Structure 1
Amino acid sequence: MADVITRGGVFAALPAEQRGHLMALAREVSFPSGTRIFDEGGRADRFWILRSGSVALDLHVPGRRAATVEVLGPGELLGWSWFLPPRHWHLGAAAESVVRAHEFDAAEVRALCDRDPVLGMALITAVAGTIADRLMASRTRLLDLYGPNGSGPRL
């Protein structure tokens, strides 16, 4: 179901040839509902492009239950921590429903990016956009949970 990737999501902007090279490394996986996919602080050695289902990203909050900061759906990138040292997960992730995804080995993708600078630059741009989106989602969620007036109106 590579069509999920071409219809939208973080990799839709990749040039077709580079998207094909990346997808050649994909392995189809699934996670039952409730499965913990990874934990904050763990080794980030892979990532996924969701085909179906939803995944909750969460942040450890000492003395409280983990706070959900974002829910991802089809076409979205699950995991960006593999891209930058020290390559440890910055958030945790759990399947909220049955999830089907394309899984990528991070070391293989980094090696492919070294060989294909067009893919490397496109992937850097896509991952940076994802990081920015997740940072804003985390900020907004934390303000909703712990700010005196919530996240308030957007100016």
Structure 2
Amino acid sequence: MTKATKLLNALPPPQRRRLMELAQEVSFPEDARIFEAGGTADRFWVVRSGAVSLTQQVTSIQRVTVASLGAGDLLGWSWLFPPYRWDFGAEAFSPVRTYEFQAQPVLRLCEEDPALGLTLMRIVSEILAHRLEATRNKLMEQYAIHRRVL
């Protein structure tokens, strides 16, 4: 798997089929706030088309885009970890179509099928590690720009 692992493509076909039985197709219009940092994380999405910006509030008035997601990308991982609150915000940069998954049925599926659960957690962990590194780099860039302005 690479840094740009796509969740559904990384799952073996039988596991992908089982997970997709829980999917619901959902759309968001351009500029829609999909979720806010600190909100309840009880679902996740796989982007089918369009672009989503992950944002971090760095001051009371400044929000920074820390990542851009597109087709095949996982949107949301906070549903896996207590206290189940979003770490970032997300906004539709264009009209977005997704597969939406409710956290509780997916977690039950993972308990029923430990092999699927382990595979899913490994894929999400890889995605998470890549995103955190990219976010750190983006915030460091913003910090450097801010220091030059002062």
- Establish whether TM, by shorter chain, passes 0.5: yes
Q: Show the counterpart of 1:74.
A: 71
Look up the match of 2:93: 96
Q: Could you tell me whether the CA contact under 8 Å between 1:33 and 1:97 is conserved in 2?
A: yes
User: Among 123, 127, 132, which residue is 1:135 paired with?
Assistant: 132
Q: Helix, strand or coil for the counterpart of 2:8?
A: coil
Q: CA deviation at 1:20?
A: 0.3
Among candidates 37, 40, 55, match of residue 34 of structure 2: 37
Higher mean displacement: 39-48 or 141-150: 141-150
SS at match of 1:104: strand
User: In 2, distance between residues paired with 1:74 and 1:26?
Assistant: 16
Residue of 11, 16, 25 corresponding to 2:22: 25
Mark the runs of 5 or more structure 1 residues left unpaired by the alignment.
1-7, 151-155
Is structure 2 residue 81 aligned with structure 1 residue 84? yes
Aligned: 1:55 with 2:48: no
Code of the residue aligned with 1:123 in structure 2: it is L
Aligned residues: 143
**Unpaired stretches in structure 2, ≥5 consecutive residues:** none
Higher helix share: 2
CA RMSD of aligned residues (A): 1.6
Shift of 1:148: 6.6
The Cα of 1:149 is off from its aligned counterpart by: 9.9
Query: Which 4+ runs in 1 deviate beyond 3 A?
Result: none
**SS at the partner of 2:10?**
coil
Note the alpha carbon deviations across 1:51-88, whole angstroms, 9 max, x for none: 00000000011233211000000000000000111110
- State the shift of 1:91 in Å: 0.4
Q: 1:107 is matched with which residue?
A: 104
**Bigger mean CA offset, 28-37 vs 9-18:** 9-18
Deviation string for 1:98-139 (max 9, x for gaps)?
000000000000000000011100110111011101111111
